[in-house]
């Protein structure tokens, strides 16, 4: 079992777990997420699950879909999404629908962040309206997320909080759960710079945060981020609220 990296001055608030192999990593992630949902479903009528996008979480979502939960009482929403149509290959809503929302989990209620995009509408206005709607829904739904499942880029971003992106300073300071991000010029955002993202407050609001990491590069980036420093330098630091569960595998 790989041990916690000896070069990692991990903050006491990081609960680091590493898995021997991908199968163990997936099952541990599924058990953690399902446990968080079951805990909330035991205590209240509904539970809220927040998912990220990217290339890491798909296998976990697929395995999670088979878990025997009362999925009809689960709301699934997103940590962040790209400002693309819901059927776009880059859409995190599409990723959630394709990897989680089938089988047993098809009974869950999905709450997207990005509405149908009207090309005739001013993009900035449309994104502002979508963020306002996501924040209003969060307030009206009154649900504390049972768990936010996070990823991290090699630049130390999580959600869509890219270092140096327009809107990140606001997202790290606002008490609202979602914000619009313009990551033009941020390599980590690739060709998808316009985002709606959980803010630092949104990340902190979740009862639990699970950061799923694969590979040595991400382990090293997290170790650097775990050292003291400004959140804006490594925005994954915004997820260090209270406790951050990290699950890593080579
Ligand atoms: O919309 C997104 O891209 C994600 O929410 C983002 O925060 C992702 O978790 C990281 O970029 C890591 O992505 P990988 O899993 O592809 O490394």
Report the separation in Å between the CA atom of 236 and the middle of ligand 1, taken as the mean of its atom positions: 11
Q: Is residue 3 part of a domain?
A: no
Which atom of ligand 1 is closest in space to residue 81's alpha carbon?
A: 1
Report the separation in Å between the CA atom of 197 and the middle of ligand 1, taken as the mean of its atom positions: 11
Ligand 1 atom 4: residue of nearest CA: 53
Residue 80: CB within 6 Å of ligand 1? yes
pLDDT tens-digit readout, 64-114: 999 999 999 999 999 999 999 999 999 999 999 999 999 999 999 999 999
Residue 52: CB within 6 Å of ligand 1? yes
Which atom of ligand 1 is closest in space to residue 197's alpha carbon?
A: 5
For tokens 């890491």, what's the residue? 56
Does the structure show a pLDDT above 70 at 4? no
pLDDT tens-digit readout, 102-145: 999 999 999 999 999 999 999 999 999 999 999 999 999 999 99
pLDDT of 8 reads 35
Q: Is residue 210 part of a domain?
A: yes
Does the structure show a pLDDT above 70 at 181? yes
Report the separation in Å between the CA atom of 42 and the middle of ligand 1, taken as the mean of its atom positions: 31
Residue 158: CB within 6 Å of ligand 1? yes
Q: Is residue 214 part of a domain?
A: yes
Q: Give the mean pLDDT of 204-225.
A: 97
Q: Give the mean pLDDT of 138-159.
A: 98
Q: How confident is the model at residue 5 (pLDDT cuts 50, 70, 90)?
A: very low
Report the separation in Å between the CA atom of 66 and the middle of ligand 1, taken as the mean of its atom positions: 23
Q: How confident is the model at residue 197 (pLDDT cuts 50, 70, 90)?
A: very high
Report the separation in Å between the CA atom of 222 and the middle of ligand 1, taken as the mean of its atom positions: 14
Which domain range does residue 74 map to? 14-249
Structurally, the chain folds into a number of domains equal to 1
ipTM: 0.98
Does the structure show a pLDDT above 90 at 223? yes
Q: Is residue 1 part of a domain?
A: no
Report the separation in Å between the CA atom of 125 and the middle of ligand 1, taken as the mean of its atom positions: 25
CATH number of 97's domain: 3.40.50.1360
pLDDT of 242 reads 80
Q: Is residue 9 part of a domain?
A: no
pLDDT tens-digit readout, 9-53: 344 478 999 999 999 999 999 999 999 999 999 999 999 999 999
């Amino acid at each position: 079992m790989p041990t916690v990296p000896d070069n990692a001055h991990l903050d006491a608030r990081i609960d680091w777990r590493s898995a021997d192999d991908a199968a163990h990593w997936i099952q541990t992630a599924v058990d953690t997420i399902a446990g968080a949902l079951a805990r909330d479903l035991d205590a209240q009528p509904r539970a809220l699950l927040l998912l990220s996008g990217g290339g890491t979480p798909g296998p976990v979502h697929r395995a999670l879909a088979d878990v025997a939960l009362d999925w009809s009482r689960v709301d699934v929403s997103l940590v962040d999404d790209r400002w693309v149509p819901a059927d776009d290959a880059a859409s995190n809503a599409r990723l959630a629908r394709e990897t989680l929302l089938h089988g047993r989990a098809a009974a869950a209620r999905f709450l997207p962040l990005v509405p149908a995009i009207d090309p005739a509408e001013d993009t900035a206005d449309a994104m502002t309206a979508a963020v306002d709607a996501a924040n209003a829904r969060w307030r009206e739904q009154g649900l504390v997320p049972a768990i936010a499942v996070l990823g991290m880029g090699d630049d130390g971003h999580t959600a869509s909080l890219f270092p140096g992106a327009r809107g990140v300073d606001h997202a790290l300071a606002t008490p609202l759960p979602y914000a619009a991000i313009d990551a033009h010029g941020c390599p980590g955002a690739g060709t998808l710079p316009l985002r709606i993202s959980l803010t630092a407050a949104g990340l902190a609001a979740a009862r639990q945060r699970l950061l799923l990491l694969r590979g040595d590069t991400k382990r090293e980036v997290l170790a650097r981020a775990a050292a003291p420093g400004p959140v804006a330098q490594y925005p994954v630091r915004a997820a260090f609220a209270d406790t951050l569960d990290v699950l890593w595998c080579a």
